């Protein structure tokens, strides 16, 4: 007797996009629930796919400059060197009762 092992469903990008478009077209109450039952997915799938779709669109829209970082960006980054860290630890130790 051979027992089939359960496998997690994998959705390709085109399938996710198709389901998201169908969900966006739902206007009547209960349409999204019917869609979820028909496709065999949970509402959390829609939420995570929408979030991923939104972030990927934002990432594509934002141009990223190539090359080295500007001096302003590196100057605003806080630097933690050993002397400031040691001074901070000494101050914390002195503040303890």
pLDDT of 76 > 70? The answer is no
Q: Which residue did the predictor score with more confidence, 7 or 34? A: 34
| Predicted confidence (pLDDT) per residue in 41-75, tens digit | 999 999 999 999 888 877 776 666 777 766 665 65
- Return mean pLDDT, the chain: 81
pLDDT of 38 > 90? The answer is yes
Beta-carbon count within 10 A of 43 CB? 11
pLDDT of 36 > 90? The answer is yes
Which own/partner pairs from 20-29 qualify as long-range (CB within 8 Å, at least 24 positions apart)?
Answer: 20/46, 20/49, 20/50, 20/53
Contact 39, 19 (CB under 8 A): yes
Burial 45-71 (b: 16+ CB within 10 A, else e): bbeebeeeeeeeeeeeeeeeeeeeeee
């Amino acid at each position: 007797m051979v027992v089939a092992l359960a496998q997690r469903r994998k959705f390709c990008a085109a399938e996710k996009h198709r389901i998201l478009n169908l969900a966006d077209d739902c206007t009547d109450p209960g349409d999204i629930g019917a869609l979820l039952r028909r496709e065999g997915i949970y509402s959390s799938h829609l939420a995570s796919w929408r979030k991923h779709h939104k972030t990927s669109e934002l990432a594509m829209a934002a141009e990223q400059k190539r090359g080295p970082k500007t001096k302003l960006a590196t100057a605003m980054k806080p630097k933690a060197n050993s002397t400031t860290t040691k001074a901070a630890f000494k101050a914390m130790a002195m503040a303890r009762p």
